[in-house]
Amino acid sequence: MATEVTPKVALAGFRRILGADAVLTDRDAIAPCLTDHRKLYEGTALAVLRPGSVDEVSQLLAFCNGTRIGVVPQGGNTGYCGGATPDGSGRQVVLSLARLARLRSIDATNHSMIAEAGCILANLQREAEAVDRYFPLSLGSEGSCQVGGNLSTNAGGLNVLRYGMARDLALGLEVVLADGRVLSSLGGLRKDNTGYDLKSLFIGAEGTLGVITAACLKLFPRPRAVATAFVAVRSVAAAVDLLNLLREASGDRLSSFELIPHVAIELTTRHIPGVAQPLAGEYPWCVLCELGSARAADPLDSMLENALRDAMDGGLLDDAALAQNERQRAAFWRLRESIPEAQRHEGASLKHDIALPIASLARFVDEASAWIASNLPEAMLVAYGHVGDGNLHFNVNARAGTDPLRLVARADEVQRVVHDLVASLGGSISAEHGIGRLKVPELERYAPPAKLDLMRAIKHALDPNGIMNPGKVLRSA
């Protein structure tokens, strides 16, 4: 039987389950949990709850399900779509996973590790390295995002081309369902065809179907040879040709292929201390590419150099710099990973995280850039990203010193043009950042009706009372 309870009774219930110290209500202490990384949303909450065990998460969800209190799971709170921010109703709690941060086990033989949801991504990369293995998920936010958040957003990042997205790296999950039951598949099996793949439902669900409390993650042999280059390509079409040339020439050892426009180099060198121009000249488009191999003796530098020479002879490139040492490699990556921060320093940004069939990327960039140039001449287009995966961050930025509100007032119009073009080319309006609260109307507009119907049916089956992250991904019923 459902019983709605007063805030006082709810708080007493939470304290009974967690103890008083793990139920935060002090305004200043909880303020950072009530807004998102981009400061697009601000909400309120009955409390921020910090469970320290799976059993506590289970008891909390059973209690919230019975009392119809909305639960907003929160990891590192680095998400881009407002998915971890509560609404303004005051009838929701933020469920922080920060205290569930144990590496339960690591198995070099099985190439796997079992990590709790609150583990910080960069810590897991280090844990893998300590047993001579590699965990390839890598994002600019890896120092603060959590693996539970990575799985819940199905994060992508810088190594997807070779190793896949977060979904591809999960062998199994432990999930607490909305009614408090625990579903676990942490056995580390690579083969298990016993019915529906339930874990996949929770990956990319952004906390709307249950709370991920732990995951069994795939590890790989550690790359012992790496070759990295910063390359000036003639055009986006040339970048796509180079991508295919490098994949073939390296026997598919290409792990990253990131498109970087001149404006991003200009922004990062101006706003981020220590970032330097990687090439002597100024070129409209560059690519940061990296080959990796588990065999130390693989001659990756010469492989990359020869492939780039062929590309230069074929008219794809104007210039290239190969990283001569780890310091130079880190400098190239620092430039790339600082682009979001540099953009933030410059001004407000209209972000479009889109995916396209690789063959349509150049056409998209040509058409969408032409529209921006003639309709928003005062704005700065910063189109960059994981082109090896067909994923562009097609961001339109306000220039420093201009009124950001004038750009923000055009956000819906720009989004419509960009997303309509993406849809007409067979692409996706969310490649790696998810839907959250930000893109609910966009999902409703572009998703096929049968997909939306099935998503709603799954939501209802797993969370009939609608307590899990209400209003995210799908509109509240």
Residue list 81-140, contact with ligand 2HG (CB under 6 A): 140
Binding mask 317-346 for ligand FAD (x = CB under 6 A): -----------------------x------
Which secondary structure element, helix H or strand E, spans residue 49, and what is its range? strand 48-49
End-to-end CA distance of the chain: 20
User: Which residue matches tokens 């009530």?
Assistant: 34
Helices (H), 293-360: 300-313, 326-337, 339-346
CB closer to ligand 2HG, 188 vs 385: 385
CA 85 to each of CA 21, 315, 412: distance values in angstroms, whole numbers, following the listed order: 22, 48, 22
Is 146 a binder of ligand FAD (CB under 6 A)? Answer: yes
CB closer to ligand 2HG, 140 vs 180: 140
CA 148 to each of CA 84, 179, 203: distance values in angstroms, whole numbers, following the listed order: 12, 19, 9
Residue 230 three-state SS: strand
Is 162 a binder of ligand 2HG (CB under 6 A)? Answer: no
Residue 43 three-state SS: coil
Q: How far is the CB of 303 from ligand 2HG (least distance, A)?
A: 26
Contact, 115 vs 188, CB < 8 A? no
Which secondary structure element, helix H or strand E, spans residue 468, and what is its range? none
Residue 207's binding partner among ligand 2HG, ligand FAD, none (Cβ under 5 to 8 angstroms by kind) is ligand FAD
Q: Binding residue for ligand 2HG (CB under 6 A) from 188, 204, 340, 390?
A: 340
Is 74 a binder of ligand FAD (CB under 6 A)? Answer: yes
CB closer to ligand 2HG, 69 vs 382: 382
Is 156 a binder of ligand FAD (CB under 6 A)? Answer: yes
Q: Binding residue for ligand 2HG (CB under 6 A) from 136, 278, 385, 427?
A: 385
Closest listed residue to residue 157, CA positions, set 135, 175, 172: 135
Residue 75's binding partner among ligand FAD, ligand 2HG, none (Cβ under 5 to 8 angstroms by kind) is ligand FAD
Is 347 a binder of ligand 2HG (CB under 6 A)? Answer: no
Which secondary structure element, helix H or strand E, spans residue 93, and what is its range? strand 92-96
Is 439 a binder of ligand 2HG (CB under 6 A)? Answer: no
Q: Binding residue for ligand FAD (CB under 6 A) from 84, 376, 379, 474?
A: 84
Region for 469 from its dihedrals, namely left if φ exceeds 0, alpha if ψ lies in -120 to 50, beta otherwise: left
Q: Determine the size of the site formed for ligand FAD (CB under 6 A).
A: 37
Is 66 a binder of ligand 2HG (CB under 6 A)? Answer: no
Query: Which residues are at the interface with ligand 2HG (CB under 6 A)?
Result: 140, 339-340, 351, 385, 393, 395
